[in-house]
Amino acid sequence: MGIKAFLLASSDTGYVYRMKIYAGKEKSNIKGLVENMLQNLEENAHIVYMDNYYTSIDLLRSLRKKKIRCTGTLRKNRIKNVELAHKFSKEHKGSIKFYTNAPHLDLNLLTWKDAREVFMLSNHRDSSIEEVEIKQNETIVYKKVPTMRQYYNKKCRGVDHANQCCNNYRYNHKQYKWWKPIFDEIIQITFSNLYIIHKYLSNSPMKRLDFFLKIIKFLIFEEVIERPLPTIIHYLDYVPLKKLNLQRNNENIAEEAVIGKKDFRLNCKVLNCKKKTEFHCVGCSKINFICALCVPDCFIKYHNISS
Backbone φ and ψ for 110, nearest 5 degrees, come out as -105, 130
How is residue 202 annotated by DSSP? -
User: Tens of pLDDT along 37-79?
Assistant: 998 888 777 899 999 999 999 999 999 988 899 999 999 888 8
Contact 290, 303 (CB under 8 A): no
Whether residue 205 is preceded by a cis peptide bond, meaning omega within 30 degrees of 0, is no
Residue 255 has pLDDT above 50, yes or no: no
257 band by pLDDT with thresholds 50, 70 and 90: very low
Residue 183 has pLDDT above 70, yes or no: yes
The pLDDT value given to residue 296 = 81
The rounded percent of the chain whose pLDDT value lies above 90 is 22
The pLDDT value given to residue 72 = 92
Average pLDDT over residues 23-50: 85
The pLDDT value given to residue 140 = 84
Average pLDDT over residues 20-24: 85
**Which residues on neighbouring strands pair with residue 141, listed in sequence order?**
134
225 band by pLDDT with thresholds 50, 70 and 90: low
Average pLDDT over residues 187-191: 92
The pLDDT value given to residue 221 = 62
Residue 220 has pLDDT above 90, yes or no: no
Count of C-beta atoms within a 10 Å radius of residue 94: 11
pTM over 0.75: no
Q: Indicate the average pLDDT of the chain.
A: 83
CB contact burial 21-55 (16+ within 10 A = b; e otherwise)? eeeeeeeeeeeebbeebbeebeeeeeebbbeeebb
The pLDDT value given to residue 250 = 64
Residue 115 has pLDDT above 90, yes or no: no
Contact 268, 260 (CB under 8 A): no
The pLDDT value given to residue 254 = 47
Residue 256 has pLDDT above 50, yes or no: no
Tell me the one-letter amino acid at 140. Answer: I
The pLDDT value given to residue 226 = 56
201 band by pLDDT with thresholds 50, 70 and 90: very high
Beta-strand relationship, 108-113 and 117-122: antiparallel
